[in-house]
Amino acid sequence: MNEKDKEICSLCDRELAVPFNRHHLLPLSKGGKGTPTILLHKICHNKIHAVFTGMELKRRYNTIESIKEQEEMAAFIKWVAKKEPQFYDSSVRKKR
């Protein structure tokens, strides 16, 4: 894969590494079936769902720009942008 073929995380703008996820900008549980998705690192995807409820994502944070502008997410992006693409912090809460 050459430099121009590399996928980039839509949230942190780092090169994607496995595992990565697809995020529905309109949550599946809120009518998002068949709607656009974006590629994210697993840690970035987990952070979005740790910060926002499904209803918040549907009503207010249904664009990558609006997600990036939210204060907690902006701080996370600043922090994670300095990490290697393969970085994953196991202390990030996982849904049970």
The CA angle 17-39-79, to the nearest 5 degrees, is 65
- Which band of pLDDT confidence, cut at 50, 70 and 90, is reported for residue 5? low
Give the predicted TM-score (pTM) of the model: 0.83
- The whole-number pLDDT of residue 20 equals 87
Residue 95: pLDDT over 70 = no
**Per the structure block, which two tokens stand in for 52?**
């926002």
Tokens of 36: 């656009």
Look at residue 1 in the predicted model and tell me its pLDDT.
42
Across the range 13-24, mean pLDDT stands at 89
Rounded CA gap, 87 and 62, in Å? 26
Average pLDDT over residues 42-63: 95
User: Which tokens hold the place of 61?
Assistant: 């944070």
Q: Which residues pair with 38 in a beta bridge?
A: 23
